[in-house]
Amino acid sequence: MSANHDRALDALLRRGRLRTLEPRRGFDFASNDYLALAESPELRDAVMRALERGVPIGAGGSRLLRGNTSEHEALEADAASFFGAETALFFGGGFAANTAIFSTLPARGDLIIYDELIHASAHEGMRLSKAECRSVRHNDVQHIEDVIQAWRVDGATGQIWIAVESLYSMDGDRAPIDDLATMAARYDAMVVIDEAHATGVFGPSGRGLAAHLEGQANVISLHTCGKALGVMGALVLAPKALRDFLINRARSFIYATAPSPLIAATVRESLDLIARSPQRIARLHELITHAGREFHAKMGFISSSSQIQPIIVGSDTRAVALADAMKAKGFDIRAVRPPTVPEGTARLRMTITLHVDEAKISALIAALAETQAELAA
């Protein structure tokens, strides 16, 4: 068996797809810590205050076996209020939360229609689901409607679930949320919106691109806590009946040790912090605008208009070489290759965070243009 593993790893290496763990180095153009909260004094102080008032570090069990604490419940109440939903349920991470949603809520005889670029965690949940699953072209609302109509013509009568990201993690573009919501209402469909990369960055007080849909009976949203919120975990916002169903049926909730109460307390502080610090979000958008101008001026292309900017180079080995060259120049930017992105679209995934300023962004883009020319020579 070991020889098989060695051969598989060698094949990945030859294709430029071998993954390794790398230390942090250089200026941060790779993380999802968009508001620079992960190492902030505000969250550090929040942790200290929570410890001083006796908040435990570990939960000691699953939420159903004494692992449920007042910190979990307080966070869920605050999150539901902050995002405008009926209820919230806290998970240890976005992967577990998405797995729970898609493996648990859609039933046999239902149909899940999902954008082809949706998160891998949604795919994992759908793999475990009893519902039928169909992929549609990226951001193509008409394709979704065509699939629904064909499914109904074939005699299917189950519930329809439409699954999208509000801001796509590898392309940085937005879903047509309002068009999707209008169509979903027409077909009595449920909409599952993964707000992972919009939370804390877009919408009023960082409540996401679909904030105006929160609380509707046919909307479920996922807000991760380990990106702009700077902590870890994930919150599923949903009607009470669906929350209760997840508590009773979602295996990644029932059989997992509850998230740390200390983490739950820190996420509460993070939500409060972004609500009372609009200048952080405003500053991030200033940097996004600056990056867009610099990309156009120095590289001649239009940016994604979000904090996620893909620089698509195509070849896996070229993407790795470009990332390595940029790291050597002091910029931490990572190569992303298939199967994370479609074949032939290997890229550098550049993120804008409050860890950098205009000067560093300008320097990175100038170095990127120079390095691409060097590698092409």
Q: Residue 329 — very low, low, confident or very high, per pLDDT cuts 50/70/90?
A: very high
Assess whether 130 carries a catalytic annotation: no
Beta strand pairing status for 160-165 and 111-115? parallel
- In sequence order, the 6+-apart residues with CB closer than 8 A to the CB of 28 are 332, 351, 353, 355, 356
In this prediction, residue 302 has a pLDDT band, given cuts at 50, 70 and 90, of confident
- pLDDT confidence tier of residue 377, bands split at 50, 70 and 90: low
Answer whether residue 21 shows pLDDT above 70: yes
pLDDT on residue 301: 84
Q: What percent of the chain has pLDDT over 90?
A: 89
Q: Do domains 24-37+278-376 and 55-275 have the same CATH topology?
A: no
Identify the band that residue 20 occupies on the pLDDT scale cut at 50, 70 and 90.
confident
Residue 7 has pLDDT above 80, yes or no: yes
What is the rounded average pLDDT of the residues 261-284?
96
Residue 333, pLDDT > 90, answer yes
Instruction: Please state, in angstroms and rounded to a whole number, the distance separating the CA atoms of residues 24 and 2.
Output: 30
Sheet holding 219-224, edge to edge: 87-91, 234-238, 219-224, 190-194, 160-165, 111-115, 132-136
Query: Which is the catalytic residue, given 115, 194, 269, 316?
Result: 194
Closest Cα to residue 198, out of 227, 162, 237?
A: 227
Check 110, 115, 165, 332 and give the catalytic one. 165
H runs (alpha helix) in 84-140: 94-104, 120-128
Q: Which helix (H) or strand (E) holds 293?
A: helix 278-299
- Check if 362 is active-site: no
Q: How far apart are CA 333 and CA 351, in angstroms?
A: 8
Q: Is the full-model pTM beyond 0.85?
A: yes
Give the C-alpha separation, 329 to 254, whole Å. Answer: 47
Q: Is 62 annotated in the active site?
A: no
Place of tokens 């070991």: 2
In the residue annotation, 218 being an active-site residue is answered as: no
pLDDT attached to residue 3: 85
Instruction: Select which of 169, 218, 221, 270 is catalytic.
Output: 169
- pLDDT tens digits, 160-196: 999 999 999 999 999 999 999 999 999 999 999 999 9
Provide the sign of the torsion angle of the four alpha carbons 47, 195, 174, 317, taken in this order: positive
The answer to whether residue 141 scores a pLDDT higher than 90 is: yes
Q: Is the pLDDT of residue 105 over 70?
A: yes
Domain boundaries, the chain: 24-37+278-376, 55-275
- DSSP code of residue 197: T
d(CA 46, CA 300): 44
- The domain defined by 24-37+278-376 folds into Aspartate Aminotransferase, domain 1 (3.90.1150)
The tokens describing 245, both together, are 């169903």
Q: Is 119 a catalytic residue?
A: yes
Residue among 345, 348, 361 nearest 283 (CA) = 361
Identify the band that residue 2 occupies on the pLDDT scale cut at 50, 70 and 90: confident
- Catalytic (active site) residue 165: yes
> What's the pLDDT band for 48 if we cut at 50, 70, 90?
very high
Name the average pLDDT for the chain: 95
Set 28, 78, 110, 119: catalytic member:
119
**Active-site annotation holder among 227, 294, 303, 306:** 227
Percentages (nearest 5) of helix, strand, coil residues in the chain = 45, 15, 35
Distance of alpha carbon 264 from alpha carbon 309, whole angstroms: 30
179 given a catalytic annotation? no
Instruction: Report the largest interatomic distance among the alpha carbons of the chain, rounded to a whole angstrom.
Output: 63
Residue 17 has pLDDT above 90, yes or no: no
Say what the pLDDT of residue 1 is: 62
CA–CA dist 221, 234 (Å, integer) = 10
356-364: long-range pairs with CB below 8 Å, 24+: 356/27, 356/28, 356/29, 356/287, 357/287, 358/287, 358/290, 360/27, 361/287, 361/290, 361/291, 361/294, 362/290, 362/294, 363/331, 364/27, 364/29, 364/326, 364/331, 364/333
Per-residue pLDDT of 216-256, as tens digits, reads: 999 999 999 999 999 999 999 999 999 999 999 999 999 99
Residue carrying the six token digits 């949706």: 118
**Chain segment 338-367, per-residue pLDDT in tens:** 999 999 999 999 999 999 999 999 999 999
291 phi, psi to nearest 5 deg: -60, -40
Tally the residues of the chain. Answer: 377
- Among the listed residues 72, 197, 223, 355, the single catalytic one is 197
Q: How far is CA 13 from CA 185, 349, 375, in A?
A: 48, 20, 20
Asked if CATH classification 3.40.640.10 holds for the domain at 55-275, the reply, yes or no, is yes
Confidence of residue 15 (pLDDT cuts 50, 70, 90): confident
CB 271 within 8 A of CB 79: yes
In this predicted structure, what is the pLDDT of residue 373? Answer: 84
